[in-house]
Amino acid sequence: MEGASPDDARPALGDCGRWLASLMRAVVARGGTALYLFRGYGRIARLIGVSALAPLTGCATYQPVSLPAGPDLVASVRELDAAVPQDASLIAVGKIDTTRPLTIDQIGLLAILNDPELKSEAGEIDAARAGIVQATIIPNPVAIISYGALISGPATTSSFSAALSQGIAQLITRQAHVKSAKFHAGQVDADQLWREWQVAQKARQLAADIYSGELSIELTRHQIALLSQELDEVKKAIAAGNLTLAAQAPLATAQAGAENVFVSLRLDRLKSWQTLDGLLGLDPKVRFRIARPDIGPLPANVEELLADLPERRPDLMALQLGYSSAEEDVRAAILGQFPALTLGGSYNKDTSDVISAGPTLDFGLPVFDRNQGHIANAAATRVLLLAQYQARLDIANAHVHALIAQIRQLSADLATARKAATASQSLATTARQAYAQNNLDQRTMTDYETTALERRLEVIAIERQIVEDKIFVAVELGLGLPKMRLALSGEPPQ
């Protein structure tokens, strides 16, 4: 749901201005005492009224915003927002071609541009920037005006007094609060970029899983077909009295196991598609073509990338900005120990027509409250952010090294699995030739072919895990994704 636009808050005699105007009209309409109170001071009353109304002419107006009537899911991948800013790091062109098979990187970008949850980030960033506006506003001065109408007694005139004062304590902490608000806005901005990265990473992982799942499903379907064919032949042989019933059991068990795997793979694929469609803002029934994942080798300079990780990972940047904001909060809390001081001036005329004027000074005595609570809270927040930053940095380094070790182990296992798959496929081909020449029975040939299929499934599973681990490594190192928020029309962080 989109909020009201900035134009809705245009300067106008808004609700507060209309309220004051109606109040003044009601006072005038009362007549009698009200008119008497203002009699002789019409010029002053007009001045007061104009002074009160002048700042209120800039009040914001209220504009209702309706909730959406229903879901806003897209029925086709071609209807998605595919316009990528020109300086995105993964795509050199300005628009993703959704009519062709999509790479996992393109799917990640589409998720950033269309994820329903990311659409709320504009409001969160605007709220953080509103904090900067609030922090920069100087507190309003306070004006006090009183009038005492002369009704009876020895006095000669009505009394009148006016005072104007301005708080000083808030001005002392203003600079620290402004800096804190700016750092906080930058923190929110960086956090939103990290959210985009996380969404893109999830979309890439799901796309890779779906691609590998499709391959596994097709191989498993072929395996089930072979076992079914062999089981039918065995049943015929049993009926003809050429085999005993015991020959059917191993094949039935193998077929049941393959069918269970097939059902599990299809369910996993369905869940992955539904989750991916959700990230893309698509209807859960939408399907599209996914290109073969191609991640590439691991970076050679991993240690160098880890060394400057805080300058590249958005979440670490956000914690740095949050820590800087906490630093300014501590500074503001310490400055807040300064006694609440109010400076001003007053003008008084009593009933004997004696006029006096002079400065006024109000200040709080720091006997009980020396801002200890705010200081303790700000200092604790700073310590917490420091610990979170260190923990996030340690976890990132540990994850990268662990993932690299897994990839190396899996790569070795993949080489072995591929050799075994090649050998099994060669044996299956030889077995088919022997069966065609009546030199091998069908059961033995089916066993060879089933083994070859299982070896290929093992290769696909290892390749899938390597792709996932490489995606995780890229994200942990802050590589391979846009360095700006794409969901806000490509505007770089301010």
Q: How many CB atoms lie within 10 A of CB 55?
A: 11
Is 327 in contact with 381 (CB distance < 8 Å)?
Answer: no
Of 43, 46, 27, the C-alpha closest to 35 is: 27
Query: Tokens 């589409």 correspond to what residue?
Result: 110
Token pair, residue 445, equals 């040939």
- The residue among 357 and 68 whose pLDDT is bigger is 357
Is 62 in contact with 26 (CB distance < 8 Å)?
Answer: no
- The residue among 184 and 37 whose pLDDT is bigger is 184
Of the pLDDT bands very low, low, confident and very high (cuts 50, 70, 90), residue 13 is very low
Per-residue pLDDT at 171 exceeds 50 = yes
Q: What percent of the chain has pLDDT over 90?
A: 36
Per-residue pLDDT at 177 exceeds 60 = yes
Query: How far apart are the C-alpha atoms of 271 and 275, rounded to whole Å?
Result: 6
What's the pLDDT tens digit per position in 432-454?
Answer: 889 888 888 877 888 888 899 99
Of the pLDDT bands very low, low, confident and very high (cuts 50, 70, 90), residue 152 is confident
Token pair, residue 396, equals 């990132």
Q: What is the mean pLDDT of the chain?
A: 82
- The residues spanned by each domain of the chain are 11-61, 97-476
Q: Which CATH superfamily does the domain covering 97-476 fall into?
A: Outer membrane efflux proteins (OEP) (1.20.1600.10)
The pLDDT score that the predictor gives to residue 150 is: 86
DSSP labels, 216-260: HHHHHHHHHHHHHHHHHHHHHHHHTTSS-GGGHHHHHHHHHHHHH
Per-residue pLDDT at 25 exceeds 90 = no
Per-residue pLDDT at 37 exceeds 50 = no
- The angle at the Cα of 80, spanning 79 to 83, to the nearest 5 degrees, equals 115
Query: How far apart are the C-alpha atoms of 16 and 255, rounded to whole Å?
Result: 77
Of the pLDDT bands very low, low, confident and very high (cuts 50, 70, 90), residue 213 is very high
The pLDDT score that the predictor gives to residue 47 is: 46
Per-residue pLDDT at 31 exceeds 60 = no
> How far from 345 is each of 20, 95, 357, 369, CA to CA, in Å?
26, 64, 7, 27
